[in-house]
Amino acid sequence: MRQLTGQLMSVRIAQYLAENPVGLFPIPRLYPPAGPDAVRALGERARQPLEAGYREFLSLTDGLDGFDLTMPLFGCKDWVEEDGPGAAALHFLDGLWEADTPVDLAFPRMWHSSRCR
């Protein structure tokens, strides 16, 4: 994951400098790693285990700006802040849990158990 993240940043920075006038799109940027407490809190907030690759990504950087033009890769900070960019997605996820929708979408049973709520 470390090598992949480094390669991605190299490519995105080169593209940014070659193709985009300064200020048109966000400069590709990594953040300091998310701590274990932040990763654990995000999993609890999402009420499901985080995918291993995403946990590894968060151990390298708490998000990446300019992944593709204006699209960031969210870090813990983006999901847990009440007005963060991931807040609406988590509110939507809450609605799915409250409506008992995950079972209807054939999510694994363990995601729907009372342990994850």
Residue 115, pLDDT above cutoff 50: no
Nearest to 17 by CA among 7, 30, 28, 6: 28
Cα(78)–Cα(40) distance, integer angstroms: 14
Sign of CA dihedral 79, 80, 85, 89: positive
Q: Residue 117 — very low, low, confident or very high, per pLDDT cuts 50/70/90?
A: very low
- Around Cβ 89, how many Cβ atoms within 10 Å? 14
Per-residue pLDDT of 22-70, as tens digits, reads 666 777 888 899 999 999 998 888 888 889 999 999 999 998 887 776 7
The encoded tokens of residue 13 equal 């920075």
Average pLDDT over residues 96-108: 64
Give the pLDDT confidence score for residue 110 in this predicted structure: 57
